[in-house]
Copies of this chain bind each other. A is one copy, B any other.
Amino acid sequence: MEREDILLMIPGPVPLHPRVLRALSRPMIGHRSKEFGKIYDESRRTLMKLFETENEIFVITGSGTAAMEAALGNLLKPEDMAVTIENGKFGERFTLIAERYAKVRPVRFEWGMPIELDSVEEALAEGGAKVVTMVHNETSTGVKNPVKEVSELAHTYGALFIMDGITSIGGDTVMVDEWNVDIGIAGSQKCLGAPPGLSAVSVSDSAWDAMVENPPYYLDLRAYRKSAAKEVTQTPYTPSVTLFYALHEALRMILEEGIEARKERHRRAAAAMRAAAEALGIELFPELNSITEYSNTVTAMKIPEGISDRDLRNGMLELNVQISGGQEHLSGKIFRIATMGNFTERDVLTTVQTLERVLKEYNIIKRIGDGMDAASNIFSR
């Protein structure tokens, strides 16, 4: 049986709202047409609001990883140095990409631990860094990293600052201009509520000035800028028109909800998830100093004693709710529940309810309801 009746609570791709699903089935149009140009332009303007930037934004047909590579591949040549900050899988991905283009000086923290600014400064003080990379919201661990502080450090040492906002933009506050982010990155299938396959990048004046001569062809940001400046706005290579329809509709929905209301909905849902965990005796995975360092879009928890990762997640899947496990060395140790995109409070409570049913089956909790009660209290406040 094909499973089309699953409540998807994984950190991307997120479920698609019926309006977005309907947008996907619009008839095809030419990708150099005025109609397409209008869709692209309107989307770029809304993205500028979500990024809080006056920098120009471009949409690439490719996943967030393609946009991460666009950032690095347009700024780095072999003799350059990148300082890459890692405290999770996606921070590490920046390192892996940067290694294809330049010298790399990674600043490593244990997955799930906060970033210590002293260590970042130490790496920068060694000199020679052209770019610093950091993930704003580390999807693999549920940690929110200090963009403003790290960006300031990067610029103090004359480096450009690249921020992966793939799982924050659209669900949490991102201030590209205020924080001085030279290249910011969003993914379509996360908080924006669109299908996977598109990514967006904002580019600062300093970043334009620092670009290398021969970036990867498909990801050449100057080609994107040139095509966007044409009489009819377009992309340099054939875009996925269908996905642009969906992104356009998803962005319209964001404006209708209101950006601040949307962020508040994400913030409360993550707080509700953490409250439920506490009430159920489940430990949060990250070891953080402050509540503001927890992600508002994904909550990572330790697998409780008495149940395996496999039984926990399969148990929930049999009850039609899908959540995620840990990645790499965290596989089998943690599980992750996303609160991203167009979810409702109902979805969050349904997930908690299902988690409780599985935990009760394994005698980890004695009665059903404590998690839901705690989560509901957050929503009722």
User: Residues on A close to B: CB < 8 A?
Assistant: 2-6, 8, 10, 12-16, 21-22, 24-31, 33, 35, 61-66, 69, 73, 96-97, 99-100, 187, 189, 195-198, 214-219, 237-243, 246, 322, 324
Chain B residue at minimal CB-CB distance from A197: B240
A198 to chain B, nearest CB (A): 8
Question: B63 and A3: CB pair below 8 A?
Answer: no
Question: A242 and B238: CB pair below 8 A?
Answer: no
**Distance A312 CA – B215 CA, assembled complex (angstroms):** 39
**Distance A100 CA – B216 CA, assembled complex (angstroms):** 7
Residues of B within 8 A of A237 (CB): 63-66
The residue from B61, B215, B219 contacting A61, defined by CB atoms under 8 A apart: B61
A170 to chain B, nearest CB (A): 16
Question: B13 and A238: CB pair below 8 A?
Answer: yes
Chain B residue at minimal CB-CB distance from A243: B197
Residues of B within 8 A of A28 (CB): 8, 13-16, 189, 195
**Main secondary structure on A side of the interface with B:** loop
Question: B195 and A241: CB pair below 8 A?
Answer: yes
Given contacts A25-B22, A61-B61, A62-B66, whether A97 and B243 have CB atoms under 8 Å apart is: no
Question: B195 and A242: CB pair below 8 A?
Answer: yes
The residue from B4, B30, B242 contacting A27, defined by CB atoms under 8 A apart: B4
A355 to chain B, nearest CB (A): 17
**Distance A106 CA – B139 CA, assembled complex (angstroms):** 45
Residues of B within 8 A of A8 (CB): 27-30
Residues of B within 8 A of A218 (CB): 62-63, 65-66, 69, 219
A186 to chain B, nearest CB (A): 13
Chain B residue at minimal CB-CB distance from A216: B216
**Distance A99 CA – B198 CA, assembled complex (angstroms):** 26
A14 to chain B, nearest CB (A): 7
A121 to chain B, nearest CB (A): 28
A214 to chain B, nearest CB (A): 5
